[in-house]
Amino acid sequence: MATRTRRAQRRTEALTRERIVEAAVELLDTAGESGLTFRALTERLATGAGAIYWHVANKNELLDAATDGVVAAALAVEPADSPRDGIRAAALGLFDAIERHPWLAAQLALQLSRSPWGSVTPRIFESIGRQVLALGVPEGSLFTATSALVHYVLGAAGQNAANAGGPPSEVDRAEFLDAVSQAWEELDPGDYPFTRAIAAEIRGHDDREQFLAGIDLVLAGITAVHLGGDAGADR
């Protein structure tokens, strides 16, 4: 009996908030938000619910902490040679994180819309906004320029992650894109002239390249509007 008590004490002492959050991320990745329960956590961590509640008050706090932990890791990129490279690196970090963690896109949308005072939204804005500031965007335009980038990154990455829930392999993806392209090509030319014109581009496109091309378009717009065309091109 005493031995079991000492083991329980050691297990409780070894339990940290960081380990709980790590286990929560694992559960979210494998079972989704509905699978993240304190009962599932106690089983995964081999501990009691009380030990978990000592570190985390409720599921919402746990979701916030899991989201913040994943975002922090995604934005921990190497220093870039230029603000543009820094923006691209942060954007790709978030893109890859959202692709790896299917639950993340929905949590980020909630964070931005319902609790922007939490840790996640400032973390994302700080990471990208510092680079926008370094580009030379004037005060008074920083929020708009940074918001445009943030919303593009999260929107495009979230849509890509949603699409990734479909075809599981490159062969299936190629077949899927070919079917989409063919369907668009067969649309009524009078009603869908533009959609028909771009249908062939659907085949074989690379999601990451398309994502980065979108970042470059947003940056080109910021440069043209706020930095006088090519003024910030090499910054």
> What are the backbone dihedrals phi and psi of residue 17, each rounded to the nearest 5 degrees, phi first?
-60, -40
Residue segments in the chain with a per-residue pLDDT below the cut of 50:
1-10, 12, 166-168, 231-235
Contact call for residues 102 and 32 (beta carbons, < 8 A)? yes
Q: Residue 203 has what pLDDT?
A: 85
What is this structure's pTM?
0.84
Give the pLDDT score at 231. 43
- SS3 sequence, 44-96? HHCCCHHHHHCCCCCHHHHHHHHHHHHHHHHCCCCCCCCHHHHHHHHHHHHHH
So what's the pLDDT on residue 114?
86
Output the pLDDT for position 9. Answer: 46
pLDDT, position 166: 45
Give residue 170's pLDDT: 54
Per DSSP, helices labelled H in 136-206 are: 142-164, 170-185, 193-202
Domains and CATH numbers, the chain: 1-56 (1.10.10.60), 69-165+205-232 (1.10.357.10)
What pLDDT score was predicted for residue 229?
62
CA angle 153, 159, 164 (to 5 degrees): 120
What pLDDT shows up at residue 167?
A: 42
pLDDT given for residue 2 in this prediction: 45
CA–CA distances in Å: residue 225 to residues 31, 145, 148, 150, 211: 45, 10, 13, 18, 22
CA distance 13 to 17: 11
Q: Rg of the chain over CA atoms, in angstroms?
A: 22
